[in-house]
Structure formats: structure tokens, C-alpha cells
Amino acid sequence: MSSFTIATLVLLSALLHALWNALIKRERDVQAATLAVMTVAVILAAAAAALRRTWFPSGGALACALASGLCEAGYFATLSRSLAAGPLGQYYPVSRGGALLIVWPVSMIWLGERAGGLSLAGAVLVTIGLLAIGLPGARFQGVRRADGLGWAVLSALFIASYNLLYKQAMALGSEPATVFATSISVALLLNVAAIGKRRENIVRILSRRPGPMISAGVVCCASFWIFLYCLQQGGAGALVTLRNSSVLFAQGFAWFLGERPTPAQVLGAVAIAVGAALVSA
């Protein structure tokens, strides 16, 4: 598969990722909506994995997939809390940008990946853009949301971890569908167990708003699956950087939700666009 095709698919994955985040942001109970979407995604992922009839080629590959599930559980938990605490347009970039700062050095040290000058320059631009969008004074429309910012930073750590574990599981010979089905199943079980009696809200929102929840679940599953397929073909550092162009799409969805970016955040979006183009060049 050509580098252009991979880049195009990663950008599609980024668009879908921003879209399902925006869909759950509209819900009154963001945590329940997140878990409802995860439930739909698990069903779809399990069905896809069953059709593929594949399993993990080694214990190490299975361990990486299970560990990615632990990290993904942390991601979904912190994502719902950060979205409940503040604007999509600010905290989404913080979580994605923070993950990028972790993935690049770790992928080069742990996975032995190498990056050219243009890719590194693009990564720097994307990072600057992400931080410009997400961090100026932790303020958005005059509101300070330190609690949501903290959840977004923690989310960044989980995002970086599960992406690196995804890559390692597939480097050991695992199929993308099997890795994703295992990982998101573990994440869902842990998050449902963690909310206790509030798990009834998941059933309630699925029964009350089946259309939006199923749609968001399909979009979520497609986003992760497309990205994993691409991750099987290329390096984690470059592809995670390019996928973080989802921040641009998130800004558009945030505008639709009534959020208005500052001039610094607009310039940050431009830096992300240029940086993503350099990474995929």
C-alpha cells in the first residue's frame, strides 16, 4: 500500500475519531454515552474478529493486546471526564498532543523506528499547534477548567501507551481486528465494573437514544480499525502524529457545538495542518 493511501486512510480515521467524540459530547451523561458507544464497538469488533477466525500467534502478542486494553480503559475513563468538565475544542487537543510527545521518542527507542528531517519538522509543528490550541492559560471563552485539563493530560498518557502496545502486538504477528476486539473488550469490562450501579444508565441511554449511540459506536469502531490497519503498515510515531490531525476536525465539530476558538487556537490549527502534511510527505 502506498504512503499516500496510508496517509489518506489515517486522515479518514482522524475524521471519524473526532466525529464520535463530538457525538458523545452532545449527551447529558457523557460517561454513560461513552460506555454505550463502547458496547456497540465491542459487538462490531468481536463480530469482525470472529469472521477473520484469527488468534494471537504468541503469548507476548496476547499480553500486549491485554495491556493495551488496560490503557484503553484508562483512556475512555479520562476522556469522558475531560469532556464532561470542559470544551471539546480545548481538551481534545491536549490529550492528543500530549500523546504525541510520548509516542515519538518511545517509538524510536523501543520499536527502533527512524524519522526523516521532514517528518521530525512536521511532528514539531503538530506539537506546537496542539499546545497552542489546548494550553493557553487553560482558558477557553474566559472559563478556567483545571480539573478537565488534568484529566486530558492523564488521557494523553493512556493514548500513547495503547498506541505503542497496538503496534507491538501487530509487530509480533497479530491481526488488527483481533487486537482491537481484545483491547476494547477489556476496556469496556473494566469501565463498566468501575461505575458500579450507574451501569444502568448505559442501558437507559441505549434504549432511549439507540440511533445516535449505534451510529457513534459504528464510527468509533471504524476509526480504530482503520487506524490499526494502517499502523500495521507504517511507523507508530509518524502515523500517530498524522492521526492527531483529528484535532482540526474536532475544532470544526466544536464550532458546530457552539464553542469559539481564540486566535492562538486558529493559528495552532494551521500549524497542525502544515505539520501533518510534512509527516505524510
Specify the pTM.
0.77
Contacts with 24 (C-beta within 8 Å, 6 or more apart), sequence order: 30, 33, 34, 37, 80, 83, 216
Alpha helices in 200-245 (DSSP H): 200-208, 210-231, 236-243
- Write the pLDDT tens digit of every residue in 214-246: 999 999 999 988 988 888 776 666 676 677 767
3-class state of residue 47 by DSSP: helix
- Picking from 264, 238, 251, the residue whose alpha carbon sits closest to that of residue 100 is 238
Per-residue cell: 38: 463502547
- Write the pLDDT tens digit of every residue in 142-195: 444 555 677 878 888 998 898 889 888 988 999 888 999 999 999 999 999 988
> Are the beta carbons of 273 and 123 closer than 8 angstroms?
no
